[in-house]
Structure formats: structure tokens, C-alpha cells
Structure 1
């Protein structure tokens, strides 16, 4: 299954008021695993960059002036995403802008049902808790220290990690779908689970660890926890 984790940066909040996309970043997943294939494009918004947007994105008029206009890259963007599901944090915002840009140059718009909204997933999984990308990085122990400014490709890479945790890790079906079916009596082993690239941080507090150690000490030398 092919999925595209996607993020856009814009000059503001409303394309109908003249705001435009200035950057698109996307990461390809196959079977919930990053392939290393990405899409990244800075875009000339054909208007000045508001000061507040510059403070957020760090993209100014001088930097964007020689970048291609959306009309020059729109078809290449559609070719990259194809019909893959689009994993987006607050999908309504990005789809609104993308469809506005596509509509202005008479290219096919993206169906709303093509998007998977990680903000919606997070709010359902953790009701009442902060669901921003930074908050989810803290929850899952994902390093986002390089995210000092909003950048579309970096945010897509971080969102890909967040998305995989939201759906249960790199193997949301526990990897069972990838285990080859064997006939009766076949004892050969040709599949092993892949280790997680970055171990999840321990959620055991120091107090809990100390209480467990005290409990085990009272069980004597034959306690199973002492046999390694």
C-alpha cells in the first residue's frame, strides 16, 4: 500500500483572500515504511510574503523570487502523489490550498476522501490532550529539535514517524501479514521481525523500578526475574 505523508507551507490561512502555497514537502511510504523517495518544492507565490509568515517559515521574497510558480510544478506534483492516500496533519487546511492552486490552473483537484487526517486520528486516540505535531512528538519520544522553523519536508518526515506511532508502530498488524504461509510440517525459518530503528523510551518511573526491585528481592535467589 502506497501512502504519501504531505505538508505545505503558505503565506497565510485563506487562499480565497489571496494567500498562496510557498513550499510542498512529501515522503513516500510503502507498507507503512519510508522508501526514501521524497518530493520537495519551493514555490514563488506571486505575491509578497507577509512578515508574520516569514517569521514562521523563514522564507522571504528574495529567496522565493526565482522559484517556479505553482503552474510550472502542479502536474509534476500530481504525478508524484498519484492516487496514493495522503497523510496530512489538519488535512482540511492543506487540501483547501492545494485544490485552490490546482483549480486556478485547471488541473484535477484532490478528492477529500484521498486524505488521512492525523490530527483527527490523534484527537480520537487521546481525547482532550494536545494534538499538535510538537505535542505528539513529545508523547511518542520523537526527536523534533531541528524543527525551529516550519519546513514542509522536515515536517513531513516528522509526521511520518508520528503517523506510524498513531497507527501502532511500523507494523500496525504486528507484522503478521508479512509472514509467509507455511505448509504443515514445514519447520524452516525464513522470516524474522525487524528491530525498531529507534527504541521507544521507557515509561517506567524511577519509583516503579525501585518498587519492583524491592519486590523481587523478597522472592529469594530463585526469582525468575533474576535468571537471565
Structure 2
């Protein structure tokens, strides 16, 4: 799977079961582990006030949100943007619970039923860095990602930062094959049969053989005869 959406939300509080709502949602697109520049972003009118502690985090006031659309008005656009993509979220159970609650109000299936896979970067970070702080700010600092402009939480900014964190978390998963930019470029690659190629085998010269033997003798001396580089040596040591 090559298309991924890094997603984030801001909410009025911590508990969708008690009526807390999504007030901002954003996603940025990765294709073949590269940011494409495509993104989705919306502020939402939750028809309720934010908890004071939540307001300190995101700074989105009732007045600012009062003329913004409701979730019902953006649901189709959001689901179309994420369709067929792996979704990457930091602390995915939290955001998915809010998305599920919003979709349930519209008699829609749960969020995970609209996408093939949801990946939780918080769970990934805990596996890589057990016992350490693994919030977004801590991970940005750990990977040298500049987040100095993050004075308040914002869904679009946090999604962009999380995309960089995700790429750092999964750096070891990169393929040795060069990634192509688009599906069209991938389709244009021609395949070639390799069975008609033959490898050139060159035997060592007498000087190279002499140098090799001298080096083996040095290894024998340094290892007190325990060098494994002579034929059959490793098998005899392991027997």
C-alpha cells in the first residue's frame, strides 16, 4: 500500500460518550513515503463549549467556531479523502472514538470500516522507546524535527509534524528499491528477463593469492589458531 493519510483531530474535551465533539480535523497525504502537498482541513461547529482545559490546548473559542460547518456537512468530503488509504494517527483509539461518535450520529458505519488500515504511532513509539515520553513534542525532539512554531495544538500542523515523526519511526522499513513518485510512473516501468545475463568470474592473481595467504597467517597468529577464515575451520569449531 503506497497511499497514506496522517490524520489528527482537536476536540471539545476527552470523552465522546459524554457529548464532547470534534472541532477540527485534518489530514496530509503521503505517497510512497513522500508528502504530496495534498491535505484536508476543516474547523467544525460543535454546538457546545470546549472544556476549559481543552481550550487551553487548542485555543479554538466558541465565537471562532460559531460560523463553521457541522460534522454532517463535511463527512462525505472527509471520508472521500481518506478512502483506500492507510490512516496514521497518534493515539488512534482516542481520535477513532470521536470519529465513530460523529459517524454514529449520522447513522454511518464506524471509521475503521471506511478505510483498510489504521496505524497507531503512539503504540509504535512505545515499542521503540519503552518507558520514555512518547507524545508528539517528545518525539519531535527525539528525531530533531522542528516544532518551535507549535505553541498551541492544531490538527493540520500536528498532522504535518506527525508525518515527519512517522517517517522517522519507520526509517528502517524503507526499501532498497527507488520509490517512484506516482502510480503512472510505476506503471511505466518495464520488466526485463535476467536469465540471459552471465556473471564474469575473475580468478585472483598470484600476487593477490600471496597477499591473502599472508593475511590469513596474521589472523592465525593473532587468534592463536582460532581463525575461522580457512576452509573447514568454522565447521570444526562448531562440531
Structure 2 residue aligned with 1:38: 39
State the secondary structure of the residue aligned to 2:69: coil
1:117 aligned to which of 104, 117, 120: 120
1:162 aligned onto 2:159 = no
Greater CA drift, 28-37 or 100-109: 100-109
Partners in 2 of 1:93 and 1:42 — Cα distance? 18
Greater CA drift, 172-181 or 68-77: 172-181
Structure 2 residue aligned with 1:93: 94
Structure 1, unmatched stretches of 5+, are 186-228
Tell me which structure has the larger Cα radius of gyration: 2
Partners in 1 of 2:165 and 2:118 — Cα distance? 16
Structure 1 residue aligned with 2:177: 176
Structure 2, unmatched stretches of 5+, are 181-188, 199-239
Deviation at 1:130, TM superposition (A): 1.2
Structure 1 residue aligned with 2:139: 136
Over the residues paired in the alignment, what is the CA RMSD in angstroms? Answer: 1.9
1:149 aligned onto 2:163 = no
Conservation of the 8 A alpha-carbon contact between 1:5 and 1:29:
yes
Conservation of the 8 A alpha-carbon contact between 2:32 and 2:179:
no
Conservation of the 8 A alpha-carbon contact between 2:16 and 2:98:
yes
Q: Deviations over 1:114-150 (max 9, x none)?
A: 2100000001111112111111111100000011000
Q: Deviations over 1:131-176 (max 9, x none)?
A: 111111111000000110000000000000000000017xx32442
1:55 aligned onto 2:56 = yes
Deviation at 1:177, TM superposition (A): 5.2
Partners in 2 of 1:174 and 1:78 — Cα distance? 30
Q: TM-score, normalised by structure 2?
A: 0.72
Structure 2 residue aligned with 1:220: none
State the secondary structure of the residue aligned to 1:45: coil
State the secondary structure of the residue aligned to 1:38: strand
Q: TM-score, normalised by structure 1?
A: 0.76
Partners in 2 of 1:84 and 1:178 — Cα distance? 18
1:5 aligned onto 2:9 = no
Conservation of the 8 A alpha-carbon contact between 1:75 and 1:107:
no
Partners in 2 of 1:175 and 1:44 — Cα distance? 46
Partners in 2 of 1:127 and 1:55 — Cα distance? 29
Partners in 1 of 2:121 and 2:49 — Cα distance? 31
